Amino acid sequence: MAVAAVKTYEFEPADALGKFHGAQLLYIGWEDHLLFCAPFAFPFPPTMPFGAIIDQVLPGAFGYHPDFARIDWTRAEWFKSGKPWSPDFSRSLAENGLKHKDVIRFRTPGLNGIAGSCS
């Protein structure tokens, strides 16, 4: 039984893909930079090129950190659901296999936050 109930209790999830006006959710975390208290949630169209995240979205989200300007994106390591993953920047989110509510993280070797504290 997937819920304790007096009768059948099955409904569409509150966050079903169709409720986001054509967007799908993508969560993005930056490893070793906990100045940002938690990973971020974004609604993106699945047709958006992955590179647009780097160019247009992440500067607004993570740009406050002094390490952000020092990132060498060719050396960044990516993870999807915690497993190593390599995105193709020129292809869309869908073509990169990203689905609604996927979570990705990136690590920027050599950059370890404020005074090396992972902040």
- What is the contact surface with another protein in residues (CB under 8 A)? 2-6, 9-11, 13-16, 19-21, 23, 25, 27, 29, 31-32, 34-43, 60-61, 64, 81-82, 99-103, 105, 113-115, 117-119
Helix-strand-coil split of the chain, %, nearest 5: 20, 25, 60
**CB-nearer residue toward another protein: 37 or 74:** 37
Closest CB 26 distance from another protein, rounded Å: 10
Q: Is the dihedral of CA 55, 58, 61, 65 positive or negative?
A: negative
Of the candidates 114, 5, 29, the residue with the CA atom closest to the CA atom of residue 66: 114
**CB-nearer residue toward another protein: 37 or 69:** 37
Place of tokens 């915690």: 82
**CB-nearer residue toward another protein: 95 or 102:** 102
Place of tokens 């060498």: 72
Closest CB 105 distance from another protein, rounded Å: 8
Q: Which residues are CB-neighbours of 54 under 8 A, at least 6 positions away?
A: 73, 89
**CB-nearer residue toward another protein: 90 or 99:** 99
